Amino acid sequence: MILRILRMLRPYRWSLVAGFVCLLASVPLQMFHPLVWMYIVDTVIETKDMALLLPALLVLAAVQWAGTGLGMVREQLLGVAGQRFVGELREKLHAKLLRQSVGYHHNRRSGDLISRTIGDVDAINEVVINGVDTILVNALSFLFVAVVIVWLQWKAGLMTLVPLAAVGAAVWFFNLRVKGLYVRIRERLGGLTARLQEHLLGMLVIKAFAREPYEEQRFHEQNRAFTDEALRGVKARVIYFPAVRALGFLSNVVMIGAGAYYVMLGQFTVGGLVAYRGYWYALFNPVFTLAQANEMFQRAAAAGTRIFEVLDAPEAVTDAPDAVDAGECRGHVRFEGVTFGYAPERPVMEGIDFEVRPGEQLGIVGPSGAGKSTALGLLLRLYDPQAGRVTLDGRDLRALTQHSLRRQTAIVTQEPFLFNDTVAENLRFGRLDATNAEIEEAARQANAHEFIAQLPKGYATGIGERGVKLSGGQKQRLCIARAFLANPRILLLDEATAAVEPESESLIQAALERLMQGRTTVIVTHRLSLVRGCNQILTIQHGRVAERGTHEELVARNGWYARMYALQMTGESNGNTS
């Protein structure tokens, strides 16, 4: 996993190479000063030559400053490259999630995907920006110091390095212990994030049903599970890092003891022993730091696993290599023997055939769960059928690019979605280059201008997350205005009036009638009064077309449609009477 992340750093290789060159130069310079100490003790003090002291001190300062300057350049180069890399990685994740099918998102918790895009990338960020630099600096420091202490007194140097081999064994044991642990910790955190997101989005429902204590308990249970895994990580670290310190300090004991022994034998100098003492921290600190970096890499590997699960997930709906632009279409839609199931073994739609000619209106009705809205998803090519095909102007949708296909369509759904932005920006989402005048005209067509003008800042008013500051009818009229701006050839209406207040329904109905004029329109609804004027109406039951015809033909047939229409008309009559 780490190697894969490093391969992704290839676009930044020249910054990394320059940083590595600075690293190669700066580390020896920063590690040079104990050798100057040795020179001062063995030569300057021994000979009592005062003329040698000042030059030695100047060399000591100059070399250290040069090393520090090169270190600053190195940190700048690696830091900038690391920040750009993680920014690009986060954008790749976001782009991948946008390319994934609706089915992919339906099968996953959005909070967990957010955790992977933000939290897991931050874990990678820690390694790329801090970890790689830390490992390179400390590994090179250790190698430099190891070579120097062996060069100064090879017997004492080798004896000093022996205890550090035990540190390597401790690192290996720690890796075995925590490899799966950090993966579980990241997964628990993803689940916790998903639960929190659900609570924030469903706050109205939680309060309406007085379920705060219930949801507190559920969050507590998930948080406890996450905390328990995190505590296992704490326990592993509590054992691991003290063991590394203890084993590392043993090398200090050996270094001083062996160095003093060889000084007494006349095989080493006092200045060399002083240099040894100066080098011990520079020898042990890289070992301990590398042990900490190893834990950081284990966390990053767990985060990387989750990140690459997203990046490597197959895309269910993709453009064919030879897909073409849809161009300006006429809006002739056909379903030819279409069979589809969200799980292929359980189809929700079987052998569906119908045709909508340019400018015509098709109504799709039927009981809940019959597959009505699925037809709209297939028309938008949010899914591909397992059998049969959907065509636009005689061309299979799979032969067209998704972007060009969806430029020809607009959808108004039962649950209007608006962004946490101004009214104008939400409408401009339908066509990004729309002028203010065009936005206002679209709002007038959607019967929305009047209430927009009464908002505190008019079209510049912020509407809150998901349009929380607006009523259901107002939100729906903004969505209709957005569709007007998109100027689609094909209009899809999915229960567009089902969730609005009665006083808004007539305004919305009038706006929809204007929007449908001259466009191929497919209307999915439970309200049969909305489809009376359609050129053709389909009744879908159990994933199949049970009835087909105009309103008058279906009423005369006295089937499901006629019975439901009579019930609804009776209900409306009673409601009006009351």
Domain layout of the chain by residue ranges: 2-312
> What pLDDT, on a 0 to 100 scale, did the predictor assign at position 567?
86
Span 306-332, average pLDDT: 88
Average pLDDT of the residues of the chain: 82
Give 527-574 pLDDT, tens digit per residue. 888 888 899 999 998 888 999 999 999 999 988 999 888 888 776 555
The rounded distance, in Å, linking the Cα atoms of 97 and 90 is 11
Give 376-429 pLDDT, tens digit per residue. 989 989 889 999 999 999 999 999 998 899 888 888 888 778 887 888 988 988
Give 169-201 pLDDT, tens digit per residue. 666 666 666 666 777 777 787 778 777 777 766
540 φψ region: left (φ > 0), alpha (ψ -120 to 50), beta (else): beta
Give 330-385 pLDDT, tens digit per residue. 999 999 999 998 887 888 888 999 999 999 999 999 888 777 888 998 998 988 99
pLDDT band at 576 (very low <50, low <70, confident <90, very high): very low
The rounded distance, in Å, linking the Cα atoms of 512 and 90 is 39
Q: What is the CATH number of domain 2-312?
A: 1.20.1560.10
Residue 228, beta-bridge partner list: none
Which tops the pLDDT comparison, 524 or 203?
524
Dihedral, CA of residue 420, residue 426, residue 205 and residue 111, to nearest 10: -60
337 φψ region: left (φ > 0), alpha (ψ -120 to 50), beta (else): left
Span 225-244, average pLDDT: 78
Helix (H) or strand (E) holding 363: strand 361-365
Output the pTM of the full model. Answer: 0.71
pLDDT at 203 over 80: no
- The two structure tokens encoding residue 451: 């209430």
> What pLDDT, on a 0 to 100 scale, did the predictor assign at position 572?
55
- Assess contact for 373 and 524: CB atoms under 8 A: yes
Could you give the C-alpha distances from 216 to 195, 210, 219, 222, in angstroms and in order?
11, 11, 5, 10
> What pLDDT, on a 0 to 100 scale, did the predictor assign at position 202?
66
Span 87-110, average pLDDT: 84
> What pLDDT, on a 0 to 100 scale, did the predictor assign at position 577?
37
> What pLDDT, on a 0 to 100 scale, did the predictor assign at position 168?
66
